[in-house]
Structure 1
Amino acid sequence: MRLFLLPISTRRSLIYCEKLHEKAASERGVLDKITNKASETWLAWEKDAKAPLNWKKRVTQAGNQALNRIPFEEWGLKTIPALTTKRKLAIVEGREKYQVIYPGLFLQQERVPEILQKLAKEKQTMYKSKMIWSIVAMPFTAPFALIPIIPNLPFFYLVYRAYSYWKALTGSQHLEFLLKHNLPTPNPSSELDEVYTAGLMYPTRQVSRAAPRPSREQAEEVARVVESQTNGGTEDVMVLQRWNGKLIAEQFHLPDMEVEIERAVEQVEQSIKAKDELIEEKLELEKATATGGQTAKDVLPKAVIQPLEEAEKRIHEEAEKVAKEMPSKDEKS
């Protein structure tokens, strides 16, 4: 089984488990059949324009917005199947092989176990408690069943969230069990390095497709520039573009991965932007209320300010150097 550990930024990563072979209809259990039926119904509602007041499309639009707000870490853990007794025995006996694939230039190997441990353990308690509360709240949605035509949407939402928390919980438990048995095996991927580099070098997916694949030297240089932009690890820097999700999914023939990457990139971008805006607001507030028009930065000793200014200048110089070394658009085409 292959697990993909995909850094979205220098501080946050998405885990994605390659889907096992699809079960035949005769092999599917009750839960599988209910899940498939729910997915088919949701897709049908998205296309149904004949419902009164167009309520089906309205519901699916609002629902999709709510689903996109679910943390991408939860979505990633949901891709890991539940740990069955059969699979657990195979892991203990060494018959089950697992590997974690990641871009080695953009994620140091020594960080891989730490990130996996965090994903496996950090939110297990939260998933369990929220699953229980979702189940407890279900009976209180009974009055909504009296509304004509429209189904009891709050009830079905709670059912979905309980199921989602359960899936994330079982996925995290599966991952924790693997780590206890020194699995999965780290496997840095040069293919991922190339796709990540292309995403940072080129402005669009179309240009990336037409341009030559980045060389190892270019990939190493881009990775070095990204590392320098973190300012010694204090800044969170994006390493994956939203449009690049499709290229990664195509590279490994995993079409479902594209949606997970796009969702993760959007959430991390919004998080970094919100953090930057908060810092700017605090600086503006500090400047407005500062005595004598001076801020904390203005009164810092030169010995503190100078290294920061030099580091910022060096980062800009390195970025400009890489930009000059990149082939022009005419050369790419």
Structure 2
Amino acid sequence: HDSIYVLSIPITTYKSYIYCNHKPSILDKSQKSKFPLVTKIETKVTGIAAKGWNSLSTSKKSYNVKITNFIKKLLNTIPYEENCLKSFPSQTAMIREINEESLDEGTASAVVSSQIDDLNIPHHQIKPIPLLHPSFQQPTTILNQLYNFRDNAHSKHFKYAVLCGVGIPLSLPFALVPVVPNVPGFYIAYRFYCHVKALLGVKHLNYLLEVEPKRELAASQEDPKVKLETITDEKAILDTKHLSFKERVIISEKIIDDLCSEFSMDYLKDDLLKALKQESARLSKNLKVDDAVE
């Protein structure tokens, strides 16, 4: 099923775009009813927001076009690491797969995590979550980046979530302006949502890293469906492999296009292009790995 896996796509010789690919769509209707209420509400609200954004972004009215372009510029300044964190689902909403030898006839091979105890499924019968990465990447390198996400992201996102929470009511007067949408209010509310989701992502990631990480995450560099060795600039890797202090970009727009096309991951294309742009800008400014690019 590949219902859930963690994917590491190297952007530079030191940093990767790390994404948790989670597919609730493989569940049947009765299983989806087991999702936590908060998850169901969030799905509905984000669906409504997506329709509103689609309506605004496809509008031909000149002021809507200008607003859309302005919002897109703002969105491009958001650090790509946020979406990495946001991609990790809550422990109770994770889809987990059961070892085939442990399946009874008629038993679903994938379940919502909240069902595991109800169905009396022993944890040793649950498949670990695959960690897919190129063969030149050490699993420990990826795990270290995940630990860094967890340890450094919480205070930053908590601070900005509070600031955005304060800013939302302050933006309400803009809603009184006729015709033009309350862009400041919408954007601040969206950023509040992003920071809260990132904070939850830290919590969800912590579960994978702290609750027997060797059992929950299983490195898989030779997955037959994802030959990740082809997605980076091999020459750049070889040029820098012996220079541990030298960091370089090892992905390109063409590689991103090929990757997304070959593995049907168009939904990651914008994020990967953003990661490429932001990491290139950081390296051009000679910033350290943990520094953000404004």
TM-score for the superposition, normalised by structure 1? 0.67
Residue 144 of structure 1 aligns with an amino acid whose one-letter code is: F
Alignment of 1:192-271 (within 5 A): 192-196=227-231, 199-200=232-233, 222=234, 226-229=237-240, 232-271=243-282
Q: Which residue of 1 aligns with 2:67?
A: 59
Q: Secondary structure at the match of 2:266?
A: coil
Structure 1 residue ranges (4+ consecutive) displaced by more than 6 angstroms after TM superposition: none
8 A Cα contact 1:134 1:158, kept in partner: yes
Larger relative contact order (Cα-Cα within 8 Å, sequence gap ≥ 6): 2
Is the 1:245–1:259 Cα contact (8 Å) retained in structure 2?
no
Displacement after TM superposition at 1:247 (Å): 2.1
**Larger of the two Rg values belongs to structure:** 1
Establish whether residue 9 from structure 1 lines up as the match of residue 12 from structure 2.
yes
Name the residue aligned to 2:174: 144
TM-score (structure 2 length as normaliser): 0.75
Aligned pairs, how many?
Answer: 247
Contact 1:192 1:248 in 2 (8 A): no
Are 1:93 and 2:123 an aligned pair? yes
CA contact (8 A) 1:99 1:186 kept: yes
* Pairwise CA distance, 1:163: 0.8
Alignment of 1:113-152 (within 5 A): 113-152=143-182
The answer (yes or no) to whether the contact 2:19–2:84 under 8 Å persists in 1 is yes
Alignment-derived partner of residue 173 in structure 1: 203
The residue matched to 1:176 in structure 2 has which SS? helix
**Aligned 8 A contact 2:11 2:276 in 1:** yes
Q: Higher helix fraction: Structure 1 or Structure 2?
A: 1
Residue deviations 1:169-190, cap 9 Å, x none? Answer: 2122111111112131111147
| SS of equivalent to 1:239 | coil
Q: Which runs of 5+ in 2 are unaligned?
A: 34-38, 94-111, 288-294
Q: Unaligned regions of 5+ residues in structure 1, if any? A: 201-221, 277-333
C-alpha RMSD of the superposition: 2.6
How far 1:230 moved relative to its partner?
5.8
Pairwise CA distance, 1:103: 0.6
Q: Deviations over 1:51-98 (max 9, x none)?
A: 3xx111111111111111111111211122233376378599343531
Please show how residues 146-161 of structure 1 align to structure 2 within 5 Å.
Answer: 146-161=176-191
